[in-house]
Structure 1
Amino acid sequence: MQPPIAPFRQFVVKVASRCDLACDHCYVYEHADTSWRGRPVVMSDETAIRVANRIAEHADEHHLEAVHVVFHGGEPLLAGIGRLRRFARALRRAAEGVCDLDLHIHTNGVLLSRAFCDMFTDEGVKVGVSIDGDRPANDLHRRYANGRSSYDQVVKAITLLRDHYPHLYAGLLCTVDIRNDPVAVYEALVELRPPRVDFLLPHATWDHPPLRPAGRDTAYADWLITVHDRWRADGRPMQVRMFDSIILSALGGESQSESLGTRPSDLVVVETDGTYEQADSLKTAYDGAPATGLDASRHSLSEAARHPGFAARQSGLASLAESCRRCPLVTSCGGGLYAHRHRTGSGFANPSVYCADLFRLISHLTASERRSPVAPVHELPVATLDALASGRPAAADIAHLSAPQLSRARQAVRRAAAVITDRRSWSILVDAERTDRAAVDDLLSHPYVHAWAARCAAAGPALDPADAGHLAAVAAVAAVRTGLAVKVAVPAAGTFVHLPGLGRMRTGGQEHAEVEVHDGSFAVRVDGRWLSEDSPLWEPVRLIEAAGLRLFLDDVDPYRACHGPAVEDRLTDEAAAVWSEVTGAALASLPGDRRAAMRTALRVLTPLADATAGASSRAAYGALALPLGTDPGTAARLLVEHFHRAQLGALLDLLDLTGGDADRERLLTDAYGLLAVADSLTQAEQDRLTWAIGRIADGALPAPGRRFAARLAGAAADRTAQVASGRR
């Protein structure tokens, strides 16, 4: 019996073996391997069909839910619109009923046109483009054979994608050159608004080391750290695969990059003649380095996976040099890209030629994450801090807290994904974000999605399987919101499958249910039947519309129990109608400025069981929990008090007001909530407010805390005087 293999999940299909540019850093044409000279210029239809069938055969044999195929070259657009369309259709026909197909093309962009993009839209092909930054950076290498710049054509292609075909825009690839200004390169890439950027170290080996100025042993790390720190300060405006992979692997998750981490390689290259090869980067090592001697006409992909070259890249730590195995950063580094370890005489049993750079880069990124693991830098104007301290902030002041909370939510989901091994669901989320980032941001900032993600990240390796499984539900909703067509298995919690922000479907005793999403609608497979939201087994999140606010009554989400007091389970229609009526009357009774502030940052209400007070949670910004059975006046007070407690929590996430003193933080939160309803306090509550404000200021506070406490005390004194004089 043959030993088990690690199946391929990523297939780089070379549809053309020539290029229309003459980039001098290209590993295909400018490095040691010259095998391209004997390849067909383009892949034939017969070979493409054979390759498609081999991929489907491999997916079926190893029960793969999805495979990722990249059309590559050379320059793949040289294959032409008709041939690429036929290849895409051959792949989809072969994969139908076997697995999902994630299809991309990687191009230099100079030939990209509306005709290509229309075809890619029809065939579901996402587009990644290579560009090295601004014009000087790009022209350093990416020129035509006659020396002419390609910059204008590439930017034109990216602009076409960004402005007219954003659903195809997969991201940008940028090769690092330390002679380029890192900030100028970063700013040029950000201006193109990519959903994702891959920074690539130039291919090099110990025999042919990279450009390295004298005395700068970590020049590449220094360049990338400059980019990282600016990216982080800007609130991480796009995904950066290298940075994300380092952070995820440092947290115990899997790297997203072949060049980092210890996850076994699952990538195979198929050349234009159908031969199977190892990763293209090996072409930089020596002539023939990627070759296997196997091809699609005579060999299955499982046979290829048993080739010693692939096996060497699937043995994790065991394949690394001894110095790498002893390194404290090996989990994140993984020895670097396999090709970069090569040295004549010792093969690949060496550290990366970028070892010193990787050590410095990984150390810097992980230290940055430990110092501030969630929120990137967000500025808060002093005038906004003062307005918040007054207890009657305007909607514009509350809005300053929303962007940091979105960043926290995105970071929490990313940290959750680091400890969850469900790559399929993560891939759906990434695709959804490429399609409509605003819709995915709205989902990730849903209060109970954030609460779930924070719980997962806090659990780390001890993560509950039910919490891990919820990533599939989040992915399904992302597909609904962005119009993706996917099928995903979502685990049941109790007798329900939950779709956050939408509702839950009763499933009986099923452990998992298949959710199919298409064109913004969904169906759940229960006992062999496909049930939609019209089914009586579906329990949707209800909508409350009152006084210009549009809120959701969520009594079904499994992560709504994050507020402290026990939450009520699904209300009957009659009870929900009564609760909504009371809440609507409470909202209508509030002054216009209060309602405007709530409209900015309140989206979910959850009923509490057997409680007399409301509640909010730092992990669920945008949600409030209120008790059943109250009158509109009591509900109005609870809404105002706990809404403002939530805003204080968001401010504390952004600024240290108490010097890390947890007791003083609780006092500040209590005082801030009471100040918001100062005109309805009992004498005992007024005394409590006065005492709390005195205790807050009694001790050393950071400068923002001193300013906030002083203005809070002044606002409380003014409010007390107004109440005492009978004015409101």
Structure 2
Amino acid sequence: MMTEQASNDLRARGNWNPAEPDSIECLQIVYKVAERCNINCTYCYYFNMGEDTALSRPARASVRLTEQLGDWLAHGCAELGVTRVKIAFHGGEPMLVQPAVFDKMCATLRRKVAPVAHITFSIQTNGTILNQHWVDLFRQHEVTVGVSVDGKREAHDRHRLDHAGRSTFAVTEATIRTLVDSAAGDPARLPSTISVMDHRVDYHESYTYFRELGVESMGFLLPDRNADDTEFRASGHAAKYGDRMFELFESWLAEDNPRIRIRFIDNALRHFLVGVAPGPVVRPRKDVQVLIARSDGTVTVDDSYIPALEWYSSTAVHPIASSTVREVLSDPIFLEIESLSHELPEACRSCRWRTICRGGDLENRYTRQTGFNNPSIYCDSYKVFYAKMCDLLRQNGYPAEEIARRFGDNSDNVLP
């Protein structure tokens, strides 16, 4: 049930409802074109967290399904006034589809959707399959490429081995170098990286490594787990992740290069813009609405929520053959997610960092007993990171009174 706080937030957005026209600026479709993977990452939310329904779906999406998806999106964008569509080819490992099939998929989706909405393509790959044919296709269809890599060899091979237990580091690094070279100095064509963090890794070293490769856009993710993970909570490792996040911030700030983007740093620094009031920004249209499109022709909610597995498993799955975009977004689950995203857990409402943290990612707040009404399992990570970030900003000239105005002093939050 939606709380009064969340209802007020949504009313401020103009009685926002995703199934009503002009409520969404952009639809992001995470298209699972391959529902298998050629490597076996230990932390994979898609195969190694108890959610194994992908194995019951076709291993590959077809061009015919892509045609249906294109028609479905074009109709939905026209009906709802959506002006932009982002297609993120995903998996499993999306480059397990044949290059010729990928070529047809991109051409089909652009032909179907472009007359109605601006369409862009991205792909998230483990970087083990690249050849010149793929490089040419990425250039031809203006596909931005993200490569999953966890750092230098020791960090990467701790979790990202193939099914025979062999290293994937050398080929992944070679892929990044090839993509950087093929960008020929064009920042828009440079690959980005996504790394799942490990508290044992030196992230000053990782940052330097990625910059030496030529990467300018990086994502660093906390490992998937929910708030029922009592062993992790007792380990004290959450605070160590805060230290590792701060190492990245130190490295980024020291380089002082405006072209370098790290997503969690960008998100945090928005709350420090002088002249901008603290607190969540509420707009009449939602910037991006994510849907997962699967190889069997169904769509569902964002599968980043899989760590909240009991809840996620109960969410509805809709076939595109018999459901419009508007009908899918009429599912109450989307308003429930919006409500939860605007609603602080009770235990967070007096926290110094509540306006910047907002309780953390939903899946990290979930427990079987109390749902999402819990602090993030990474609560201590955020407290350490934000406190150290504020101290460093202050040392570099950011007004101390502005930090106090936005977040108070240190008296109500003792670092773990």
TM range (shorter): 0.7 to 0.9
Number of residue pairs matched by the alignment: 367
Aligned to 2:335: 311
Using a 3 Å threshold, how does the CA distance of structure 1 residues 293 and 214 change in structure 2: closer, same or farther?
Answer: closer
**Which residue is equivalent to 2:9?**
none
Please give the secondary structure, in 1, of the residue aligned with 2:309: coil
Aligned pair partner of 1:340 in 339, 364, 374: 364
1:307: Cα distance to partner? 2.1
Q: State which of 301, 310, 329 in structure 2 corresponds to 1:278.
A: 301
Structure 1 residues 281 and 210, CA gap change in structure 2 (3 angstroms): farther
Contact residue 139 and residue 150 of structure 1 kept, 8 A: yes
Would the aligned equivalents of 2:179 and 2:191 in 1 still touch at CA under 8 Å? Answer: no
Closer, same or farther: CA 328–299 of 1 in aligned 2, 3 Å: farther
Partner of 1:240: 262
Shift in Å at residue 56 of structure 1?
2.2
- 1:36 aligns with 54
1:4 aligns with 2:17: yes
Closer, same or farther in 2 for the Cα pair 1:103/1:318, shift >3 Å?
closer
Map 1:640-659 onto structure 2 (within 5 A).
none
The whole-number CA distance in structure 2 between the counterparts of 1:230 and 1:254 is: 26
Unpaired stretches in structure 2, ≥5 consecutive residues: 1-14, 280-285, 399-416
Maintained 8 Å contact 1:203/1:210: no
CA distance in structure 2 between the partners assigned to 1:357 and 1:224 by the alignment: 8
TM-score by length of 2: 0.81
> Is the contact made by 1:282 and 1:289 (CA closer than 8 Å) also made in structure 2?
yes
C-alpha distance in structure 1 between counterparts of 2:47 and 2:27, whole Å = 26
Taking structure 1 as reference, are residues 162 and 184 closer, same or farther at Cα in structure 2, changes over 3 Å only?
Answer: same
Matches within 5 A, 1:185-264: 185-208=206-229, 211=232, 214-236=235-257, 238-251=260-273, 252=276
SS at match of 2:39: coil
Q: Secondary structure in 2 aligned to 1:70?
A: strand
CA 1:53–1:219: 2 relative to 1, 3 Å: same
The offset of 1:366, in angstroms, is 4.2
Q: Work out which of the residue numbers 348, 351, 364 in structure 2 matches 1:327.
A: 351
Distance 2:298 2:64 in 1: 13
- SS of the aligned residue for 1:9 comes to strand
Is the alpha carbon distance of 1:182 and 1:96 closer, same or farther for their aligned partners in structure 2, counting shifts above 3 Å?
closer
Q: Which residue of 1 aligns with 2:292?
A: 269
* Correspondence 1:78 to 2:96: yes
> How far, CA to CA, are the matches of 2:234 and 2:211 in structure 1?
28
| CA distance in 2: counterparts of 1:152 and 1:297, whole angstroms | 42
CA distance in 2, matches of 1:373, 1:266: 37
Choose which of 361, 365, 380 in structure 2 pairs with 1:356.
380
SS in structure 2 at match of 1:314: helix
Give the Cα–Cα distance (whole angstroms) in 1 for the partners of residues 33 and 342 of structure 2: 35
Q: Give per-residue Cα distances to partners, 1:158-206, cap 9 Å, x unaligned.
A: 0100012355324000110012222222222221111200000000012
- Residue 104 and residue 212 in structure 1: after superposition, are their counterparts in 2 closer, same or farther (change >3 A)? same
Structure 2 contact 278–355 (Cα < 8 Å) conserved: no
> Partners of 1:253 and 1:67 in 2: how far apart?
30
What residue in structure 2 maps to residue 511 of structure 1?
Answer: none
Contact between 2:229 and 2:377, CA under 8 Å: does it hold in 1? no
Q: 1:217, 1:22 → 2: CA distance? A: 25
SS at match of 1:106: strand
Paired residues of 1:33 and 1:289 also in contact (CA < 8 A): no
Residues 432-489 of structure 1 show CA distances to partners (whole Å, capped at 9, x for unaligned) of: xxxxxxxxxxxxxxxxxxxxxxxxxxxxxxxxxxxxxxxxxxxxxxxxxxxxxxxxxx
Give the match for residue 296 of structure 1: 320
Spell out, residue by residue over 1:336-368, the C-alpha distance to the aligned partner (whole angstroms, 9 max, x if none): 111111101212222211112112223333453
**Shift in Å, 1:209:** 5.4
**8 Å contact kept, 1:15–1:72:** yes
Q: Could you give the per-residue CA deviations for residues 571-617 of structure 1, whole angstroms, max 9, x where no partner exists?
A: xxxxxxxxxxxxxxxxxxxxxxxxxxxxxxxxxxxxxxxxxxxxxxx
Q: Tell which deviates more after alignment, 361-370 or 200-209.
A: 361-370
> Do 1:35 and 1:287's aligned partners in 2 also have CA atoms closer than 8 Å?
no
Quick check: 2:341–2:362 contact (8 Å CA) kept in 1? no
Question: What residue identity is the alignment partner of 2:262?
Answer: V
Q: Give the aligned partner of residue 162 of structure 2.
A: 144
Whole-Å separation in 1 of the counterparts to 2:358 and 2:299: 25
Question: Does the 8 Å CA contact 1:205/1:284 hold for their aligned counterparts?
Answer: yes
Match of 2:128 in 1: 110
Measure, in 1, the Cα distance between the counterparts of 2:380 and 2:46.
Answer: 26
Q: Are the equivalent residues in 1 in contact too, given 2:340–2:372 (CA < 8 A)? A: no
Q: For 1:206-247, what per-residue CA distance to the aligned partner results, in whole angstroms no more than 9, with x for missing partners? A: 223575684555111011111211221121462101101111
Q: Which amino acid aligns with 2:154?
A: P
Q: Match of 1:201, as an amino acid? A: L
SS of aligned partner of 1:284: coil
Structure 1 length-normalised TM? 0.48
Paired with 2:382 and 2:71, the residues of 1 have a C-alpha distance of 39
Larger Rg: 1
Are the equivalent residues in 2 in contact too, given 1:178–1:219 (CA < 8 A)?
yes
Could you say which residue in structure 2 is the equivalent of 1:181?
A: 202
CA change 1:309–1:243 in 2 (3 A) is same
* Whole-angstrom distance in 1 between the partners of 2:328 and 2:267: 27
The amino acid of 1:10's aligned partner reads Q
Alpha-carbon distance between aligned partners in 2 of 1:211 and 1:113, rounded to the nearest angstrom:
40
Counterpart residue type for residue 372 of structure 1 = N
CA-CA distance at 1:296 after TM superposition? 1.2
Q: Matches of 2:120 and 2:278 in 1, distance apart?
A: 20
Change (3 A) 1:352 1:18: same
Is the 8 Å Cα contact of residues 218 and 263 (structure 2) preserved in structure 1?
yes
**Amino acid across the alignment from 1:4:** N
Q: CA deviation at 1:79?
A: 1.1
Q: Would the alpha carbon gap of residues 207 and 225 (structure 1) be closer, same or farther in structure 2, given more than 3 Å must change? A: same
Q: Distance in 2 between matches of 1:254 and 1:77?
A: 42
1:160 maps to which residue? 178
The residue type paired with residue 308 of structure 1 is: P
Contact map agreement 1:71 1:106 (CA 8 A) in 2: yes
- For residues 271 and 351 of structure 2, the distance between their equivalents in structure 1, rounded to whole angstroms, comes to 15
Written as runs of structure 1 = structure 2, the 5 A alignment for 1:622-637 is none
Give distance in 2, aligned partners of 1:310 and 1:190.
38
Q: Contact between 1:218 and 1:357, CA under 8 Å: does it hold in 2?
A: yes
Q: Secondary structure at the match of 1:218?
A: helix
- Aligned residues with identical type, % of pairs: 27
Give the partner amino acid of 2:356.
S
User: Does 2:73 align with 1:51?
Assistant: no
Aligned partner of residue 266 in structure 1, secondary structure:
strand
CA displacement, residues 363-414 of structure 1 (integer Å, 9 cap, x when unaligned): 333453455368xxxxxxxxxxxxxxxxxxxxxxxxxxxxxxxxxxxxxxxx
